[in-house]
Structure 1
Amino acid sequence: MSYTTYLFDFDYTLADSSQGIVICFKNVLKRHGYTDITDEAIKRTIGKTLEESFSILTGITDGVQLTSLRKEYTKESDQFMNRNTYLFEDTLPTLRKLKEQGAYLGIISTKYRYRILDFLKSHLPEGYFDIIVGGEDVSHPKPDPEGVLLAIKQLNVRPEDTMYIGDSTVDAETAAAAGISFTGVTSGATLADELKQHPHINILSRLYELVDK
Structure 2
Amino acid sequence: MIKAVIFDFDGTIIDTETPWFEIYRNALKEDHNFDLTLEEFVKIVGTTNDTLFDFIDESLASPMDRNLFKEKTRSHYAKIKNELPLRDGFLDILQQIKDNGLQLAIASSSHREWIVGFLDKYELTDYFPIICSAEDVEEVKPNPALYIKALEALGVKPDEAMAVEDSVNGSLAAIQAGINCLIIPNDVTKSLTFHENAKLIQSYSEFDCDLFLNKNTWISKLMEQS
What TM-score comes out, normalization by structure 1 length?
Answer: 0.81
Aligned to 2:203: 206
Distance in 2, matches of 1:86 and 1:79, equals 14
Aligned to 2:135: 136
SS at the partner of 1:6? strand
> Which one-letter code corresponds to 2:196 in the other structure?
H
Q: Deviations over 1:48-73 (max 9, x none)?
A: 31212323455379xx9686367536
Q: Is the 8 A contact 2:28 2:34 kept in 1?
A: yes
For structure 2, list consecutive stretches of 5 or more residues without a partner in the other structure.
211-226
What TM-score comes out, normalization by structure 2 length?
Answer: 0.76
Aligned to 1:13: 12
> Which one-letter code corresponds to 1:16 in the other structure?
D
For structure 1, list consecutive stretches of 5 or more residues without a partner in the other structure.
none
1:1-213 matches, within 5 Å, as 2-22=1-21, 24-26=23-25, 29=28, 32-38=31-37, 42=41, 45-59=44-58, 68=67, 71-72=70-71, 75-76=74-75, 79-80=78-79, 82-191=81-190, 194-195=193-194, 197-200=195-198, 202-211=199-208
> Which one-letter code corresponds to 1:95 in the other structure?
L
Q: Is the 8 A contact 1:109 1:133 kept in 2?
A: yes
CA 1:69 to 1:44, structure 2 compared with 1: closer, same or farther past 3 Å? farther
Distance in 2, matches of 1:89 and 1:158, equals 30
> Which structure would you say has the larger Rg?
2
SS at the partner of 1:194? coil
Q: Which moved more, 1:89-98 or 1:77-86?
A: 77-86
Q: Is the 8 A contact 1:108 1:132 kept in 2?
A: yes
